[in-house]
Amino acid sequence: MSNTLKAYDMLGLADEGNPTCKEWADGMRTAMLSNRNLITDVDWPAGGSPPDLADLEARVAALEAAGSGWLQPTGGDDTALLQAAIVEEEAKGWGGVLRLQGVFKVSDTLTIRRCHVDAAHARLETTAPVGIIVDTFPGSYDRYTYGSYQLALPRVINVASEYWVPAAETVGIKVVSSNFSLITVDADSWDVALLLAPESSGVAYNTFHVKRLTGRVACRLMPRHSGDVFGWANQNTFIGGSYAWLRDPTDREHAIHIGSAPDVKSIPNNNVWVNPSVEGFDVAIDSGGSHDVFIAPRLETVSPTFRFRGYAHNNIVVGGYGAQNWDIDESAVLPQYRGLNGFVNGWTV
């Protein structure tokens, strides 16, 4: 079968919703329509004839109009549009996918519950105090819906205040429940750019692909709420990315802040950061957690580079680079846990 005939066949199957065929057909249709002579250069089957070109172009136009489900901005306030789209995708069950493309203007918090997100091509310009809430755990251990979402979240920019001077208590991306998921994050000009604040099942066993996090605090992990059923922020992996400072040098706190807790059983633990790039913060890592690992961090901050407190213990830094003086401050760590945080495999200054 010639490529042209194969393309016609693929387009037909793509019309019927076959995703594999659609990918191939999308790559062929431009070439097909840019060279009308193709349909006269084919050895057609006996008794057959080439399809009507106008019909073919109409079918391709219909495919282009339908696209692959990408939602486009309206040019105005897109809050209601996005909220309706989220509800629609969640109603499809675990397979629903919210696809966004373009620059969306938003005035209220968007909550992602039970659908995947493909929005790496999108940006949210929001005036809401919290940009996006991720709450994907369904509340039960149903094997068909439990966790395992892929969330390529859009870039979330706080436009309610001056660039890089965010209002207090604003959060770019707040994750309250998520398990076994792959989450891409990018948030700019927030009090806290990425906040893990575990509720319900907690925030655990996720992989975060970090693009850029800019705020007074770039990334904060909250402890488990002692005395109730809320889960932990543990066993998460954060890969790469930039943890950037704010413009005001008096207003930049920690690149990574791991909250303290009233008891050792409630603190965040067993989280891993791989090759984070930290610039300009007063303290690179301020932690009350345990058994966290920081692998090959690039730290350009003011000393102290690492500050531990409370029940912090068995936290390890493996290799890395420090542009300024570096040290570990354990003055706020409980006496029985001091000396249990440290470096391995050297440090480059």
Confidence band for 299, pLDDT divided at 50, 70 and 90: confident
More confident site: 253 or 37: 253
- pLDDT for 138-168, tens place per residue? 555 555 455 689 999 999 999 987 666 667 7
What is the structure's pLDDT at 8? 45
Is 252:208 a contact under the CB 8 Å cutoff?
A: no
Where is average pLDDT lowest: 172-181, 247-256, 280-289, 325-334? 247-256
Asked whether residue 349 is domain-assigned, the answer is no
Q: By C-alpha distance, which of 195, 180, 182 is closest to 153?
A: 182
pLDDT of residue 207 exceeding 80: yes
Query: Do both 85 and 62 map to the same domain?
Result: no
Asked whether residue 207 is domain-assigned, the answer is yes
What is the structure's pLDDT at 113? 87
346: left (phi over 0), alpha (psi -120 to 50) or beta: left
Query: Do both 102 and 58 map to the same domain?
Result: no
pLDDT of residue 33 exceeding 70: no
Asked whether residue 328 is domain-assigned, the answer is yes
Domain that holds residue 172: 79-344
Asked whether residue 227 is domain-assigned, the answer is yes
What is the structure's pLDDT at 35? 45
Confidence band for 205, pLDDT divided at 50, 70 and 90: very high
Is 194:161 a contact under the CB 8 Å cutoff?
A: no
What is the C-alpha to C-alpha distance for residues 107 and 312, in angstroms, rounded to an integer?
39
Asked whether residue 71 is domain-assigned, the answer is no
More confident site: 152 or 57: 152
- pLDDT for 247-279, tens place per residue? 555 556 778 999 877 777 788 999 999 999 998
Q: Which residues contact 108 (CB under 8 A, 6 or more apart)?
A: 79, 83, 128
Query: Do both 117 and 53 map to the same domain?
Result: no
Query: Do both 51 and 131 map to the same domain?
Result: no
Tokens of 86: 């989220």
What is the structure's pLDDT at 281? 81
Is 85:116 a contact under the CB 8 Å cutoff?
A: no
Query: Do both 178 and 36 map to the same domain?
Result: no
CB atoms within 10 A of CB 42: 15
Query: Do both 21 and 112 map to the same domain?
Result: no
Where is average pLDDT lowest: 59-68, 262-271, 330-339? 59-68
- Eight-state DSSP code of residue 57: H
Asked whether residue 188 is domain-assigned, the answer is yes
Confidence band for 3, pLDDT divided at 50, 70 and 90: very low
Q: By C-alpha distance, which of 210, 227, 228 is closest to 219?
A: 210
> How many domains, the chain?
2
Query: Do both 26 and 100 map to the same domain?
Result: no
pLDDT above 90 covers a percentage of the chain that reads: 42
250: amino acid identity, one letter: T
Domain edge (last residue) among 42, 66, 90: 66
Is 185:209 a contact under the CB 8 Å cutoff?
A: yes
Query: Do both 22 and 84 map to the same domain?
Result: no
Confidence band for 27, pLDDT divided at 50, 70 and 90: low
Strand, coil or helix: 223? coil
Query: Do both 57 and 90 map to the same domain?
Result: no
Average pLDDT over the chain, rounded to whole?
A: 78
What is the C-alpha to C-alpha distance for residues 328 and 278, in angstroms, rounded to an integer?
16
Domain edge (last residue) among 66, 89, 114: 66
Asked whether residue 97 is domain-assigned, the answer is yes
Query: Do both 290 and 340 map to the same domain?
Result: yes
What is the structure's pLDDT at 244? 86
What is the structure's pLDDT at 327? 76
Domain edge (last residue) among 19, 43, 66: 66
Q: Which residues contact 280 (CB under 8 A, 6 or more apart)?
A: 244, 245, 246, 249, 252, 300, 301
Is 193:215 a contact under the CB 8 Å cutoff?
A: yes
What is the structure's pLDDT at 292? 95
Q: What angle do CA 110, 112, 116 make, to 5 degrees?
A: 135
Query: Do both 168 and 58 map to the same domain?
Result: no
pLDDT of residue 217 exceeding 50: yes
Mean pLDDT of 166-177: 88
Asked whether residue 299 is domain-assigned, the answer is yes
Beta-bridge partner residues of 121: 101
What is the C-alpha to C-alpha distance for residues 173 and 328, in angstroms, rounded to an integer?
29
What is the C-alpha to C-alpha distance for residues 269 and 258, in angstroms, rounded to an integer?
9
